[in-house]
Amino acid sequence: MGNAWDMLDRIERVKVRRDDGMVRAEVTLKGMEDLSADVVLEAVEQLRQVLEYLQITDLSMIPSETDGLIEN
């Protein structure tokens, strides 16, 4: 399993906003489709813990190459 800290190099943009008291963070990643699901899930969990500490309760991760569209 890859190192989730490598995800930091892939972060292209972080957008944070507050909606009705809830804070939402949107993280745009470069090369997300090249990562295994395990690495992405590990990174999401680590980011979730950091954001929870910062009281940001909603996190979404978007591949930058698809302009936000996630294709299955």
Residue 34: its pLDDT value, please? 76
pTM of this prediction exceeds 0.75: no
Q: Say how far apart CA 20 and CA 1 lie, in whole Å.
A: 38
Q: Which domains does the chain have, with CATH numbers?
A: 4-66 (3.30.300)
Q: How far apart are the first and last CA of the chain?
A: 22
User: Which has more confidence, 46 or 3?
Assistant: 46
DSSP, collapsed to helix, strand or coil, labels residue 49 as helix
7 vs 23: CA distance, rounded Å: 22
Number of CB atoms found within 10 A of residue 18's CB: 9
Segment 6-57, tens digit of pLDDT: 666 777 887 877 777 777 777 777 777 777 778 777 777 777 777 677 776 6
